[in-house]
Structures are given as C-alpha cells and as structure tokens.
Amino acid sequence: MVSELVDRDVTGVVEDFITLQGGSTTVLEDGFNFGTFQNVTIGNSDIPERRYRALQFQSKYQVFDRLGLYANYTYQLKNDGNFEGEGVNTPGSASVFGDYPEFFSPTRNYPNGRLNDYQQHKVRAWSIYTQPLGFLGSVDVSLLYRFDSAATYSLSSGSVPLTAIQRTLGAGYATTPNNQTLFYNTRGSEFFDSANLFDLGVQYEIPVFRSLRPYVKFDLFNMLNNDKLTSWNTTVSPNNAGARDGFGLPTEFVRGANFGRAASNASYPAARRYAIALGFRF
C-alpha cells in the first residue's frame, strides 16, 4: 500500500480591490463626459483562503496469477476557504473580497466554509481477472466500484438588492453594485447525497501474427442502473418579513418551489449505458 498526505495552502491570490482609498476616475473623451467610475485595483493578497488537506491511499493485492485487486481512496481532511476561485470558462475570476468593505460583510457575502469541490470520501476499487484460452487468445474481466460521498452546497441567494443601510454606507463611492449574493450560513453548510456505482468491463483478444492482437472490448457503466438523486435545486429567497442583521439584510430564507427536486439530468448518476470498441494491438 502507498499512502501520502497532500497539504495545499493557496497564497498570493489575484484579486480586485474596490475601495474609497482607491479613488474614482471621470472618463472624458472627445468632449463627451461618460461619467465617473470607481477605480478597480488588481493585486495579490494572502487573506482570501483556500486550504486543502487529504490522505490518499493506493493498494494492490495479487490474489493469484490471474486475479488482481486494486483500490484508490482519498479522504479529505479539509477543503475550506472563502474564495472559490476560477470557474468553468471564467479564468481570472475575482470575488467580492476587497470590494466595498464598508457595506459587504465577510459573514454574509463571502463566508468561510467548505468549498464547492469538497468531498470527504472518494473510493475507486476494482478487480481484473484474466482467463487464458490458449491459441484462441484470452479474456479479461474487470469489475469497478465507485463511491463518491456527498458534495456540499450553500444556502445563498443571488441578485439580492442592496439595502438602504448599505447604500448609505456606500454613499462615498462613485459607483456601487445593484445587488449581491447573500449567504444565510457558512459556505458549504449543506450536503447532497452520496453515490455507489458499479461498472463492468470485458475484453477478448487473440494473437494473429507476432505481436498483432485484434481485440473487442465491452464496457457496461452503472450496471445496476442506480438512479438515486444525488444533487438538487437549492434555490432559496430572502425572507423579507423575518429578522435582519446590522446591514438590514434578511437573516432568514424561504425555500423555492423546486427546492430539493432534480435540477437537470446531472442531478442523477449517468444512466446505465454500454460501449463497444474494436481495435488492434501490435
């Protein structure tokens, strides 16, 4: 068995900073006044947090010549922070950290907690059995078990308008955003469901000439057709009739009509499917 500890701490995060100290600029071009805009400063900071720590295990056990057992296991001890970083097709994405510190709150707008790729347990275990057939070639059969523990999600609402208190606190800015993302708890406070899946692979190959070996391969994915709901709609809205914090922001939420329901086909494991491949090895 091979084991290792992975410990990563992101520093020098590239961020944008929008502050009163950064000032503003009036844009004049060819006699036209296009308005006054708050300056945006791009810099590095060690304050946004992304911390990952995990134990990884790899093992192999040869039961006998024809049968081998293999496994990989990752146990995440920590995958926390207040900065998600870049998303799909959004390189260099910044966060609201460092922006409008007078009225953006760390606990309500960019809280710490589990990041969106947190997954405490991930297991891949498989076996490979080879059956020689003499001059007729050989058959390989493999069974793969996949376990993915529950991913996390946050209780948050997007496009929440600034409150009157926030606008008053931001009165010194030339420009301010119209809305914000509002959190009702720590980041990644909620869990979806885990998934257990089995895949089967069968391969037959036959020697033809020297090292030339035609083969046919059959793969069956999600062989038990597990259709468990593993993620769902997480839409919540501010409860404007409930309690509010010091910025006038609602501290309570109302679940959306589709909360807890499938958001798309990706809310389920991929359905049972198969693939067949033909090829040559030489």
d(CA 52, CA 8): 5
Quick: pLDDT tens for 162-209.
999 999 999 999 999 999 999 999 999 999 999 999 999 999 999 998
User: pLDDT value at position 31?
Assistant: 86
Secondary structure class of 8 (helix, strand, coil): strand
Supply angle C-alpha 18, 113, 190, rounded to 5.
Answer: 125
* pTM of structure: 0.87
What CA–CA distance (Å, rounded) separates 265 from 272? 13
Examine the pLDDT at 210 and tell me if it is beyond 90.
no
What are the tens digits of pLDDT across the range 104-163? 999 999 999 999 999 999 999 999 999 999 999 999 999 999 999 999 999 999 999 999
User: What per-residue confidence (pLDDT) applies to 196?
Assistant: 96
State residue 1's pLDDT score. 82
Residue 133's SS3 state is coil
Per the CB < 8 A criterion, the answer to whether 218 and 202 are in contact is yes
> Residue 170 and residue 18: Cα distance in Å, rounded?
11
Q: pLDDT value at position 265?
A: 94
pLDDT at residue 282 in the model = 85
If you average pLDDT over residues 247-263, what whole number do you get? 97
Q: Are 117 and 153 in contact (CB under 8 A)?
A: no
**pLDDT above 90 for 84:** no
Is the pLDDT assigned to residue 90 strictly greater than 80? no
With b meaning 16 or more CB within 10 Å and e meaning fewer, what string describes 88-124? eeeeeebbbbbbbbebbbeebbbbbbbbeebbbebbe
Q: Are 188 and 114 in contact (CB under 8 A)?
A: yes
* CA–centroid distance for 162 within its chain: 28
Residue 89 has pLDDT above 90, yes or no: no
- For residue 247, give the nearest of 98, 100, 33 by alpha carbon: 100
Determine which helix (DSSP H) or strand (DSSP E) holds 48, and give its type and residue range.
none
- Render pLDDT for 212-243 as a digit per residue (tens, 0 to 9): 999 999 999 999 999 999 999 999 999 999 99
**H-assigned helices in the chain:** 106-109, 164-169
Boundaries of every domain in the chain: 2-281
